Amino acid sequence: MNKKSPNPSKVTRVGKLVKLLDESKSVAVVDYTGLKVSQATDLRQQIKTAGGEMKVEKNTLFKIALGPLSNQLTNNQLTGLSAFIFAKTDEIAPLKALADFKKKNSVLAFKLGVYNDKILSAVEIENLANTPNLEASLAKLLFRLTTTPPAWFVL
């Protein structure tokens, strides 16, 4: 019995996904059901401006590209229509652009994420997307250090 050889175009697409995964600092997978073409175009532009890339690809090809990480997936995490957001320059900036878009348009839902060679749940990737950026975190820290003395500090 002959095994069917893989489709060359699918092999190429998996290769591109593997390359994107290697180049990316984090990845978010979202359900984009109900997204209009104009909204998708706007979202792609916002993600690109934030240093990321959005791809719509088959879930099966993404699972293959994940390699051994795909063992961490549960059966229902990658079902339905999926868009993949690859954060290339900053781990959080494209995810923040996605979270901001989600708040304004109420159409997207996080499915899962990939960060530091670990699969993150929808809640974990959404929490990562909602963390303040480095400048805001440093400003908060500086504010707290300058306005309230530590509990151990006694005059």
> 32-57: per-residue pLDDT in tens?
888 899 999 999 999 999 999 999 99
Measured CA to CA, the distance from residue 27 to residue 54 in angstroms comes to 10
- Residues 57, 13 contacting (CB under 8 angstroms): yes
What is the arithmetic mean of pLDDT over 125-147? 82
In this structure, CATH architecture of domain 8-147? 2-Layer Sandwich (3.30)
Question: In the chain, where are the structural domains located?
Answer: 8-147
What is the share, in percent, of the chain residues with pLDDT greater than 70? 92
